[in-house]
Structure 1
Amino acid sequence: MHLFNVLPLTAAVLHLLGRAQAKAVFAHYMVGSVNEAHVQQDIDNAIAIGLDGFALNIGDPTEPYVNTTLVSLFDYAWGKDFKLFVSMDLTASGAACTAGRSCCNGPSDYDSILSEFLGNGAYYLGPNGLPMISTFQSDGFTIDAWNASGWWSYWGNLVDGLFSWEAAWPVVGDSNSADCGSMSPDIPVINGALNHGKSYMIALSTLQYKDAYGTNLYRPGGLTLPIRMNNILGMASQLDFVEIITWNDGPESHYIGNVWPEASDSSVKYCSPQANFPHTAWQPLVTSFIAAYKTGNTMAPPTGATAIGAMWYKTLLQDATCSGATQPDGWSTGTDSLTWAVVLPAGSKGMQIRATSNGAVISTVAVNPGLNFGSPTGVQAGAQMLQLLNSAGAVVMTATGGACVASVCPAGMFNMNYQVVGLSAGGGNASCK
């Protein structure tokens, strides 16, 4: 679990945030060495898709780039309907120490950052006008430990809410499709929070794959995003906040925004995500979700649009060979699937989604108003295509042109990151690059 609204441990005077009166949706933002133009584009893009702000993940607060990037973020967000708050990544701070870099000793080392930015007009405030802070560390606690009555007696007066990063995905090696997008890890903690007058911030994500930071693992993300969207909307009245994981964490593969080259770690083994694995085609789904979460309505496309949606798939078959490469933990839970999610407006009738792999139709299903999704298996090496058909059987929207699926590893690694390709108007032939 992760805590937010932590009381001061040293000189920084923080106050607790009261129960939220308006729902808010944030995206987890990795604070790196990002130039000012890219900072501004990140904020502009996030505003455009309906986000309320960024949770600013800060690992080692003593790194010189941290203050520079924070100044750019807060200066540009000032005066906009977009807010920022600090997420103290205490685990990353410890990693910095062991890596031999300058590092912090604990939360007290964030004092200078908090002192500088808590009073900024772009800092996120609760309904009582007081600032919010989150931490990023679980210390190995299990769900039961965090939900125990002893936990609340110890921590209950210190925090105003809880947030679970790990609940966003099935555990490594879990092949039970029923766990994809499940709320079962969250519900005991949600109930505990509500029983103690606290808030809960729920995580929303796609997959988790990384061959980075000394870890090589895969946690399924095929249908995790749309199923969890549905489940969150079904419990929206009990959830004050949603945090999307993430905006820009390239090595974790679950970014929905920009991954800038100047902020990337050259030691990390992943294909240039911004150039070769863009995930921005998920953004229209996120926009529709945010609107539904805040209003209590069904997910819908923009007024006048036929539909919104995307397909996504990994570029390696499960029987792919990669000479000298190591399969990530959880590789066996991967499937050769073409996953998709499509949102149709009210009144849509007789429409279908057709999924094609290497020229062969692998699925044709009816779709209805609101959020629809599927993940047919049978993907073959070659080009992938998703088509939206109207009631007359004519193709009205198509998604294709992503990277080709292969049976060998062009990057010399078992890359489980997804190609994400959005629907656009019209037909066309399947293609890949």
Structure 2
Amino acid sequence: MQPWQAVIDVQEAQSVGIDAFALNVASTDTWSTNAIQYLFDAAAQYNNFKLFFSFDMIHFTHPSQFLGLIEQWHNHQSYYSHNGHPFVSTFYGARLSFGESSPSNGWQKHYREPLQAKGIWTYFVPAFSDAMGSPTGFTYAFPVIDGVMNWDGAWPYESDGQVDVSSASDQAYLTDTHTYSKTFMMGTL
């Protein structure tokens, strides 16, 4: 990506009513951090256009690999926040415990606590689509989260063939998150 491409992406998104991008980050290599820089620079040129990180936990193996990005960008004028807290998501990560007794404890100790020690209190809404037993009981099993994104609810699995997308998992997540006063974010095409 080049800086001019980021500007075009933001312009075109705004022209059709899109006001934010989820940046699916799978690497902190230079090509990735350059693209992040270009997108934040472009977003800053357009009032109210926001960006937030969604860390791809198929590629990352530990939060320490990406915490620096949150530290660097969470105060940027174009970083999306919810009630004053920088919004952060993931793609997968529900089965990663980072050496702790449970995935929720792992995310607490290796994601939440290091950021909180630096005064950063994120609003954490992961797409833990790889969780066992989801969506029922999901929020109870992950007290570390502020909500859940149903990434896999936006389209059928390839093995399903051509079928209409059901809203059953969205409804189950919605019920579960509301039971625990958490946020539900629907996946989108």
Q: Give the TM-score, by structure 2 length.
A: 0.74
Q: How does 1:59-70 map to 2 (within 5 A)?
A: 59-61=26-28, 63-70=29-36
Asked if residue 136 in structure 1 is aligned to residue 94 in structure 2, the reply is no
**Cα offset for 1:159?**
1.3
Specify whether residues 71 and 192 from structure 1 end up closer, same or farther in structure 2 by C-alpha distance, changes over 3 A only: same
Asked if residue 189 in structure 1 is aligned to residue 173 in structure 2, the reply is yes
Q: Distance in 2 between matches of 1:71 and 1:173?
A: 38
Secondary structure of 2:86's counterpart equals: coil
**Cα offset for 1:174?**
2.2
Specify whether residues 196 and 36 from structure 1 end up closer, same or farther in structure 2 by C-alpha distance, changes over 3 A only: same
Specify whether residues 81 and 145 from structure 1 end up closer, same or farther in structure 2 by C-alpha distance, changes over 3 A only: closer
**Cα offset for 1:119?**
0.7
Residues 354-385 of structure 1: per-residue CA shift (max 9 Å, x gap): xxxxxxxxxxxxxxxxxxxxxxxxxxxxxxxx
Q: Distance in 1 between matches of 2:18 and 2:139?
A: 31
Residues 245-266 of structure 1: per-residue CA shift (max 9 Å, x gap): xxxxxxxxxxxxxxxxxxxxxx
Q: Distance in 2 between matches of 1:48 and 1:145?
A: 36
Secondary structure of 1:116's counterpart equals: helix
Structure 1 outlier segments of 4+, above 3 Å: 151-154
Question: 2:181 is aligned with what amino acid?
Answer: G
Specify whether residues 188 and 35 from structure 1 end up closer, same or farther in structure 2 by C-alpha distance, changes over 3 A only: same
Q: Distance in 2 between matches of 1:145 and 1:202?
A: 15
Q: Which residue of 2 aligns with 1:125?
A: 81
Secondary structure of 2:37's counterpart equals: helix
Q: Which residue of 2 aligns with 1:74?
A: 40
Q: 2:135 touches 2:176 (CA, 8 Å); kept in 1?
A: no
Q: Which residue of 2 aligns with 1:201?
A: 185
Secondary structure of 1:57's counterpart equals: strand
Q: Distance in 2 between matches of 1:56 and 1:118?
A: 13
Specify whether residues 45 and 165 from structure 1 end up closer, same or farther in structure 2 by C-alpha distance, changes over 3 A only: same
Pick from 141, 156, 159: which aligns with 1:170?
156
More strand by share: 1
Q: How does 1:4-43 map to 2 (within 5 A)?
A: 34-43=1-10
Q: Which residue of 1 aligns with 2:120?
A: none
Specify whether residues 66 and 175 from structure 1 end up closer, same or farther in structure 2 by C-alpha distance, changes over 3 A only: closer
Specify whether residues 181 and 90 from structure 1 end up closer, same or farther in structure 2 by C-alpha distance, changes over 3 A only: same
Larger Rg: 1
Specify whether residues 175 and 109 from structure 1 end up closer, same or farther in structure 2 by C-alpha distance, changes over 3 A only: closer
Q: Which residue of 2 aligns with 1:107?
A: 63
Pick from 18, 26, 39: which aligns with 1:51?
18
Q: Which residue of 1 aligns with 2:122?
A: none
Residues 205-250 of structure 1: per-residue CA shift (max 9 Å, x gap): 2xxxxxxxxxxxxxxxxxxxxxxxxxxxxxxxxxxxxxxxxxxxxx
Q: Give the TM-score, by structure 1 length.
A: 0.34
**Cα offset for 1:171?**
2.6
Secondary structure of 2:36's counterpart equals: helix
**Cα offset for 1:59?**
0.4
Q: Which runs of 5+ in 2 are unaligned?
A: 96-129
Q: 2:140 touches 2:180 (CA, 8 Å); kept in 1?
A: no
Q: Distance in 2 between matches of 1:152 and 1:166?
A: 17
Specify whether residues 57 and 163 from structure 1 end up closer, same or farther in structure 2 by C-alpha distance, changes over 3 A only: same
Specify whether residues 175 and 89 from structure 1 end up closer, same or farther in structure 2 by C-alpha distance, changes over 3 A only: closer
Pick from 33, 40, 57: which aligns with 1:90?
57
**Identical-pair percentage:** 25
Specify whether residues 194 and 51 from structure 1 end up closer, same or farther in structure 2 by C-alpha distance, changes over 3 A only: same
Q: Which residue of 2 aligns with 1:5?
A: none
Q: Distance in 1 between matches of 2:89 and 2:26?
A: 12
**Cα offset for 1:176?**
7.0
Q: Distance in 2 between matches of 1:176 and 1:136?
A: 24
Question: 1:66 is aligned with what amino acid?
Answer: S
Q: Distance in 2 between matches of 1:109 and 1:64?
A: 14
